[in-house]
């Protein structure tokens, strides 16, 4: 059996692109990027760093952060360091997303290397992008004067 995205009445995955930079308003406390519908599925996500952040400990995360919970990267206890270098094209014509942390496999307390996506949204809480010193919406300002990235997420809405 083969799968054709959008064919035979099946839902097609949607790739969403969210560019942001060090001076994006509300980046320290959370910029809303996407509001899922209950039942939407997050298939994948990756971060492309175009310009490394400067400043003190610039850490990235995204998620709903509801109730003080961490985002997707922080859920594995490791927000992503966006000051650690730009993505590179190794000369193969293919550029990978920033991979100092892997969103797909993370150490979750009590569950070594737990796969956290794909997953299904059970609430319609908006997803937010944050860059702070600890990758949370309550973290200190890294004080950066440069930095730019794009967060891509792939979602599907079942029919």
Q: Write the DSSP string, 21-58.
A: ETT-TTTTT-EEEE-PPTT-EEEEEEEEEEE---SS--
What pLDDT is stored for residue 48 in this prediction? 87
pLDDT attached to residue 1:
33
Q: What is the pLDDT of residue 100?
A: 46
Question: For residue 107, what pLDDT is reported?
Answer: 52
83 near 53, Cβ under 8 Å?
yes
| Residue range 34-76, pLDDT digits in tens | 999 999 988 888 888 888 899 999 999 888 998 888 888 776 5
Measured in residues, the chain has a length of 159
pLDDT of residue 105: 47
Helix (H), strand (E) at residue 18: strand 14-21
pLDDT of residue 99: 47
* Rounded distance between C-alpha atoms, residue 92 and residue 89, angstroms: 7
The alpha-helical segments, DSSP class H, found in 7-154 are: none
Q: Six-digit token pair at 149?
A: 């990235």
The neighbouring-strand residues paired with 17 are 152
Position 44 scores a pLDDT of 86
3-state helix, strand, coil in the chain (%, to 5): 5, 35, 60
For the chain, which ranges sit under pLDDT 70? 1-10, 75-80, 84-117
């Amino acid at each position: 059996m083969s799968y054709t995205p959008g064919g035979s009445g099946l839902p097609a995955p949607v790739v969403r692109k969210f560019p942001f930079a060090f001076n994006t308003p509300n980046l320290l406390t959370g910029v809303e990027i996407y509001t899922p519908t209950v039942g939407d599925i997050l298939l994948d996500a990756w971060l492309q760093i175009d310009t490394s952040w400067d400043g003190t400990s610039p850490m990235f995360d995204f998620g709903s952060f509801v109730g003080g919970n961490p985002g997707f990267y922080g859920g594995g206890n490791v927000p992503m360091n966006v000051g650690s270098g730009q993505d590179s094209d190794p000369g193969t014509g293919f550029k990978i997303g920033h991979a100092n942390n892997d969103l797909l496999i993370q150490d979750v307390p009590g569950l070594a290397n737990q796969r956290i996506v794909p997953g299904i949204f059970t609430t319609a809480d908006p997803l937010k992008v944050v860059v702070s010193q600890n990758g949370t919406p309550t973290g200190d300002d890294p004080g950066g004067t440069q930095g730019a990235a794009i967060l891509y997420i792939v979602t599907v809405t079942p029919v």
